[in-house]
C-alpha cells in the first residue's frame, strides 16, 4: 500500500536547473524521461558539473495526451545552453510537499490529499507540480521514493 508522510509548508528560494521541456502523451512519458535524463547527465559530465539535488519532472498541465513537462536536474552553477538543454529554474516561494513511497501510478490519492489541504488551508495552486525522484524505477515499486511539491499562494 502506498504511504506518504505529512505535508510540510515551506518558503523556498529559486533553484537554477538544467532542463529539457517536452510535450508528450502519458504513454510515451517513460521513454521521454529516460532519453532526457541520459542527455542531461551526459552534458553535465561533459561540463564537469554535478547536479545540486535529485532529478525532477515539472508537470505544467495534466492533459494525459499532451503533457507539458520539464525534465531536469537542479544546479549550483549555471551552464551554457546546448540544443534542447535549457537553463531553467524551480521557482521560489511558498510550497507544500510530502514524501511518497510506492508505485508511480498510485500517486493519485496523494495528489488528492495535497489538493484538499491546499483548499482547506486558504491557498491556491501557483505553478507546476514537481516530482523529485530519490531512487529509480529499478527499485521494487513499494520502495520508490518521490517528493511531490506543489507551488502555492494565499487565496485572496
Sequence-ordered list of residues with C-beta below 8 angstroms from that of 55, at least 6 positions apart, any chain: 37, 40, 71, 72, 73, 132, 133
pTM of the full structure: 0.92
User: For all residues of the chain together, what is the average pLDDT?
Assistant: 93
pLDDT score of 4: 60
Burial (CB < 10 A; 0-12, 13-18, 19+), residue 114, is buried
For residue range 36-45, what is the model confidence (pLDDT) as tens digits? Answer: 999 999 999 9
Give the torsion sign (CA, 149, 41, 15, 76): positive
Q: Which candidate, 107, 108, 72, 65, places its Cα nearest to that of 87?
A: 72
Cell numbers 535529485 correspond to 54
Number of neighbours of residue 101 by Cβ within 10 angstroms: 18
Task: Give the pairing type, strands 8-12 and 67-74.
Answer: unpaired
Tell me what pLDDT residue 63 has: 87
- Per-residue pLDDT of 1-24, as tens digits, reads 445 668 899 999 999 999 999 999
Look at residue 6 in the predicted model and tell me its pLDDT: 81
**Which domains, and CATH codes, for the chain?**
3-154 (3.20.80.10)
Positions in the chain short of pLDDT 50: 1-2
Q: What is the pLDDT of residue 5?
A: 64
pLDDT of residue 1: 43
Amino acid at each position: 500500500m502506498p504511504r506518504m508522510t505529512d505535508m510540510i509548508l515551506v518558503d523556498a528560494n529559486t533553484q537554477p536547473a538544467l532542463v529539457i521541456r517536452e510535450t508528450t502523451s502519458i504513454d510515451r512519458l517513460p521513454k521521454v524521461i529516460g532519453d532526457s535524463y541520459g542527455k542531461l547527465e551526459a552534458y553535465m559530465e561533459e561540463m564537469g558539473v554535478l547536479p545540486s539535488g535529485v532529478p525532477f519532472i515539472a508537470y505544467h498541465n495534466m492533459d494525459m495526451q499532451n503533457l507539458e513537462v520539464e525534465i531536469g536536474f537542479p544546479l549550483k552553477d549555471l551552464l551554457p545552453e546546448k540544443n534542447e538543454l535549457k537553463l531553467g529554474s524551480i521557482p521560489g516561494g511558498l510550497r507544500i510537499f510530502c514524501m511518497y513511497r510506492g508505485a508511480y501510478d498510485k500517486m493519485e490519492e496523494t495528489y488528492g490529499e495535497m489538493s484538499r489541504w491546499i483548499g482547506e488551508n486558504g491557498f491556491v495552486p501557483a505553478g507546476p507540480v514537481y516530482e523529485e525522484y530519490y531512487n529509480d524505477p529499478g527499485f521494487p515499486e513499494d520502495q520508490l521514493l518521490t517528493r511531490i511539491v506543489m507551488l502555492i499562494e494565499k487565496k485572496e
